Structure 1
Amino acid sequence: MKKNKLMKLVVATMAAFLMFPIGSVAAARTDMVDVSNHNGNMYVSDWTGMRDKYGVKSMVTKISEGTFYKDYTAANNIATAKQAGIYQNGYHFARYKTAAQAESEANYAATLAKQAGLPNNAVLVTDVEATEQQYTPLTINDYNNFIFMSTVQKYGYRTDIYTSGSWMNNVMTVKPGTGWIASYPYVVGDKQWYTGNHAWQFSSAQNFAGTTAVGNFDVSQLNDDFYTGGQNTKPVNPVTPPATNNNQVANQDYAQNGTFTANTTVNVRSGVANNAPIVATYAPGQSLNYNHIYIVNGVVKGRYTSYSGQQRYASLGLIPGQSFGTRTTTTTSRHYTIQYGDSFWSIANKLGVNMYTLAVNNGKNINAMIYPGQTLSY
């Protein structure tokens, strides 16, 4: 995290002694990259290059700072990482010194995270390294961090603490098995630091040679699957050729009757596929009565019968993401059939629901085994 006084001295010292680029050292893995306005808007090709050439599987983008700063790159960087199959997380640069300030900053950060498209169950980190905490007693810092994190969780996010190795358990407490810790050795070599925490940030000077990503990046090694939502393997490249109208089918569908009123121009297609021909549009304020819902690669479709008796499919919104209007439903029966490679995280992210609630409502916990063909209710 390209942040401030606490880390600048460490970064400068490291840069002076570093004899070769971090990318050439095999010991520390570039599992996770964090970005902010310092890095600008990231492209899908940046993430896919990091993923395919360096094994990056997770990202953390700056969301906010205090209650006064919104990072203008967050929405783009979340969207492009998602397209590349990189797990998305966010962080908030903490300025709080009191519990009231911590609560205000948590509400501010979580609200902006929602606006930026950070998905449910992602990690929204409190980045604690400012002078406001440096001169605050440990017990007060601990309580303030607790207030921030418990408030963020009310928005459906998981949370964690980012700080430096020198501050951990000195300026604030980081419980074993938690925490994202920054500490930059002069030469990484075969060192393995902070293996008892979720992640170790070992450099702020990573260059991703051979990719379209330009500049230096903060990189971390992950010690568990906390920052990948339970997915501890390298993401599979999600880019596939567009399906034809005949073989692109719904990932999920369920019976629902209701009325949809558009708040933007909505496309109506002749088939359920996202690339089926557009045969009509609905203008803002116009309504339709639908009788079935389909979800095709994240696009929500409402089926209705046209005046000519033809089945038509209107785009109602995205999952997870924005709605293209408002829905008033009359009957709902929602089920999802587990597919090969699914996890509770991937299913929850696809459906836009809370991962823990999904598991509990089906008599399971998030670590339970699930199998293709089983049906989940939500």
Structure 2
Amino acid sequence: MKQNKLIGLGVATMAAFLLLSVNTAEAARTDMVDVSNHNGYMNVSDWTGMRDKYGVKSMVTKISEGTFYKDYTAANNIATAKQAGIYQNGYHFARYKTAAQAESEANYAATLAKQDGLPNNAVLVTDVEAAEQQYTPLTTNDYNNFIFMSTVQKYGYRTDIYTSGSWMNNIMTVKPGTGWIASYPYVVGDKQWYTGNHAWQFSSTQNFAGTTAVGNFDVSQLNDDFYTGGQNTKPVNPVTPPVTNNNQVANQDYAQTGTFTANTTVNVRSGVANNAPIVATYAPGQSLNYNHIYIVNGVVKGRYTSYSGQTRYASMGYIPGGSFGKRSAVSNSRTYTVRYGDSFWSIANRLGINMNSLAAKNGKTINSIIYPNQQLMY
């Protein structure tokens, strides 16, 4: 949660990672994002970018705090998430120390949630991380949380507890199979924490590069469908989002070569920009040999030369995010299948190499006869 960093929680800086290595460990998934006034008014394009590029499928927006604060961005953020097809939830920052205060805060939060348009059956979470609970006995916190949650349920909402890993079953009880737990490792890598709970919040500094969403966000991995109302929580193959910038250039580039084998339909563009015209696609299982890597607003592009001799750029994945296929090293000797009407001159021109070197590598001269379907190394 943005407003109050979890008390007693050692917040660590997440290590950045690059999807250029073939065997990069899979990081925790960005299944759910929580937002508040600190993130401002979210647009539909913010949510669709998160959805399409990072697999976000659920959101939690701050509704209220105590009985004195209403988050002014909640109604907008619920509405825009709904338009983008993102499942909507809300949270209340708890200040209660007694059962009476818990009931009052629950009525306050649920009433505002209704006003803000939070749909029935959404989750309205109690965010329990304040000093009021830190110095209250565990049994009292448990009872107060019970009162809050049972009161909220009367409004047609499902409920859950958000707290830190260091507070869970220490400051309050979080039953197995419930709870949204925050704990930020130094390096996420392939760690899988709190898999016995509904959700694990693993970072408060996620940046959604390549989308219209600006700033750092709290992100969580979902371990079941509690926060998606039954929607599938497995990782999805993202699709390329619309881009409005017509003058994109590569943010980074790498002199790498290799073979890329698609595991989903991959767009091929005539230029390196994300909005360059799509001129071809690769189906799952099809491969290409790339001769350079570019990163354009978080999209990884593999450059290659087409059979027609044109330079093409295939979308290979996102940073951070996911890969659209498998990448592996390619041998120095690649092969070209001769087509009817080919000559050493036309092939060399198509591949962007010297025709004398091409012929010599195959034990021939440029005057040698070549035949359709013959394999030439280059």
**TM superposition score category, shorter chain reference:** 0.5 to 0.7
TM-score, normalising length from structure 2? 0.59
In the alignment, which residue of structure 2 is the partner of 1:109? 109
Larger-gyration structure (1/2): 2
Closer/same/farther in 2, CA of residues 44 and 177 from structure 1, 3 Å limit: same
SS of alignment partner, residue 110 of structure 2: helix
Percent identity over the alignment is 89
In the alignment, which residue of structure 1 is the partner of 2:148? 148
**2:3 and 2:38 in contact (8 A); partners too:** no
In the alignment, which residue of structure 2 is the partner of 1:198? 198
**2:7 and 2:130 in contact (8 A); partners too:** no
- Residue in structure 1 matching 2:16, options 16, 20, 24: 20
Query: Is residue 180 of structure 2 the alignment partner of residue 180 of structure 1?
Result: yes
TM-score, normalising length from structure 1? 0.59
**2:27 and 2:190 in contact (8 A); partners too:** yes
In the alignment, which residue of structure 1 is the partner of 2:65? 65
Q: Where does the alignment leave 5 or more consecutive residues of structure 1 unmatched?
A: 238-378
**1:22 and 1:203 in contact (8 A); partners too:** no
SS of alignment partner, residue 72 of structure 1: coil
In the alignment, which residue of structure 2 is the partner of 1:213? 213
In the alignment, which residue of structure 1 is the partner of 2:118? 118
**2:64 and 2:71 in contact (8 A); partners too:** yes
Q: How much does 1:118 deviate?
A: 0.1
In the alignment, which residue of structure 1 is the partner of 2:137? 137
In the alignment, which residue of structure 2 is the partner of 1:51? 51
Q: Where does the alignment leave 5 or more consecutive residues of structure 2 unmatched?
A: 239-378
Q: Distance in 2 between matches of 1:9 and 1:224?
A: 24
Q: How much does 1:128 deviate?
A: 0.1
In the alignment, which residue of structure 1 is the partner of 2:227? 227
Q: How much does 1:190 deviate?
A: 1.0
After TM superposition, what 4+ stretches of structure 1 lie above 2 angstroms from structure 2? 5-11, 21-27, 233-237
Q: Distance in 1 between matches of 2:71 and 2:26?
A: 33
Question: Please, what is the CA RMSD of the aligned residues?
Answer: 2.0
**1:57 and 1:235 in contact (8 A); partners too:** no
Q: Distance in 2 between matches of 1:227 and 1:38?
A: 22
Q: Distance in 2 between matches of 1:39 and 1:10?
A: 23
Closer/same/farther in 2, CA of residues 86 and 93 from structure 1, 3 Å limit: same
Q: How much does 1:7 deviate?
A: 5.0
Closer/same/farther in 2, CA of residues 25 and 59 from structure 1, 3 Å limit: farther
Q: How much does 1:4 deviate?
A: 1.8
User: What are the superposed Cα offsets for residues 210-237 of structure 1, whole Å, 9 maximum, x if unpaired?
Assistant: 0000000000000000000011157999
- Letter of the 2:180 partner, please give it: W
Q: How much does 1:3 deviate?
A: 2.7
Query: Is residue 80 of structure 2 the alignment partner of residue 80 of structure 1?
Result: yes
- Letter of the 1:66 partner, please give it: G
Q: How much does 1:27 deviate?
A: 2.4
Q: Distance in 2 between matches of 1:108 and 1:235?
A: 37
Closer/same/farther in 2, CA of residues 232 and 206 from structure 1, 3 Å limit: same
Q: Distance in 2 between matches of 1:43 and 1:8?
A: 34
In the alignment, which residue of structure 2 is the partner of 1:128? 128
Closer/same/farther in 2, CA of residues 7 and 138 from structure 1, 3 Å limit: closer
Q: When you count helix as a share of all residues, which structure comes out higher?
A: 1
SS of alignment partner, residue 39 of structure 2: coil
Closer/same/farther in 2, CA of residues 34 and 5 from structure 1, 3 Å limit: closer
- Letter of the 2:158 partner, please give it: R
Closer/same/farther in 2, CA of residues 47 and 5 from structure 1, 3 Å limit: closer
In the alignment, which residue of structure 1 is the partner of 2:348? none
User: What are the superposed Cα offsets for residues 173-206 of structure 1, whole Å, 9 maximum, x if unpaired?
Assistant: 0000000000000000110000000000000000
Query: Is residue 98 of structure 2 the alignment partner of residue 98 of structure 1?
Result: yes
In the alignment, which residue of structure 1 is the partner of 2:258? none
Closer/same/farther in 2, CA of residues 147 and 41 from structure 1, 3 Å limit: same
**2:15 and 2:188 in contact (8 A); partners too:** no
- Letter of the 1:150 partner, please give it: S
User: What are the superposed Cα offsets for residues 41-82 of structure 1, whole Å, 9 maximum, x if unpaired?
Assistant: 000000000000000000000000000000000000000000
**1:22 and 1:206 in contact (8 A); partners too:** no
Q: Distance in 2 between matches of 1:235 and 1:190?
A: 18
**2:182 and 2:201 in contact (8 A); partners too:** yes
